[in-house]
A and B are shown apart, each in its own frame.
Chain A
Amino acid sequence: MSGRETVLGKVRRALAVSGAEAERKAAVDERLANPVAGLIPERGQLEGAARVDLFCKMAEAVQAGVTRVASSDDVPEAIAKFLRQNNLPAEIRLGADDRLAGLPWEKTPNLTRKSGPSDGRDLTGVSHALGGVAETGTLVLHSGSDNPTTLNFLPDTHIVVVAADDIAGDYETVWQRIRTIFGKGVMPRTVNWVTGPSRSADIEQTLLLGAHGPRALQIIVIGGTA
Chain B
Amino acid sequence: MRITAPAFKENAQNALTDLHLQRALEHVEAGFIHKRAKVVAALPEFDALRDAARDIKNHTLEHLDLYLEAYEKAATKAGGQVHWAETGGDARAIILDICRKAGAKTITKGKSMVSEEININDFLAENGIEPVETDLGEYIIQLRGEPPSHIIAPAVHLTKDQVEADFRRVHTHLDAARDLSESTSLLAEARGVLRDKFLAADVGMTGANFLVAETGTSVIVTNEGNGDLTQVLPRVHIVIASIEKVVPTLEDVSTLLRVLARSATGQDMTVYNTFSTGPRRPGDPDGPEEYHVVILDNGRTAMLGNEFHDMLRCIRCGACMNHCPVYHAIGGHAYGTPYVGPMGAVLAPALFGLDEAANLPNASTFCGRCESVCPMRIPLPKLLRHWREKEFERGLAPATQRWGLGVWAYFAQHPRLYRLSTRLAIGALGWLGKKKGRFRALPLAGGWTRHRDLPAPSSRTFIDQIRDREQ
Contacts and interface: CB of A to CB of B under 8 A. Distances in A.
Give the 10 A-B residue pairs with the shortest CB-CB distance, closest first. A213-B225, A205-B31, A211-B224, A202-B137, A3-B84, A14-B304, A10-B301, A35-B249, A205-B27, A193-B273
Contact of A208 (B86, B159, B184, B273): B184
A226 interface: no
Interface of A: 2-4, 6-8, 10-17, 19, 24-25, 27-28, 31-32, 35-39, 41-43, 58, 62, 95, 116-117, 120, 135-136, 138, 143-145, 148-150, 152-154, 170-172, 175, 185-206, 208, 210-214
A203 B24 CA distance: 10
Contacts of A172: 251, 254
Contacts of A187: 78, 215-217, 275, 277
Contact of B284 (A11, A43, A143): A143
B5 interface: no
B208 to A, nearest CB: 14
B287 A149 contact: yes
A117 to B, nearest CB: 4
B315 to A, nearest CB: 15
B415 interface: no
B305 interface: yes
Interface of B: 24, 27-28, 30-32, 43-45, 48-49, 52, 56, 59, 62-70, 72, 74, 78, 83-86, 90, 134-137, 140, 153-156, 158-160, 163, 183-184, 186-188, 191, 194-195, 198-199, 213-217, 223-226, 228-229, 232-233, 243, 248-252, 254-255, 257-258, 265, 267-281, 283-287, 295, 297, 301-302, 304-306
A201 B35 CA distance: 12
Given A28-B66, A152-B228, A192-B274, A7 B285 contact: no
A210 B270 CA distance: 14
A39 B269 contact: no
A190 B274 contact: yes
B277 A11 contact: no
Nearest to A150: B286
A190 to B, nearest CB: 6
Contacts of A188: 277, 281
Contact of B68 (A8, A186, A196): A8
Given A120-B195, A203-B183, 18 more contacts: A15-B62, A32-B214, A36-B251, A39-B255, A41-B43, A117-B285, A120-B199, A192-B273, A192-B275, A195-B268, A195-B270, A195-B273, A201-B223, A202-B136, A204-B24, A204-B160, A205-B153, A211-B224
Nearest to A147: B285
Contacts of A19: 65-66, 69
A28 B284 contact: no
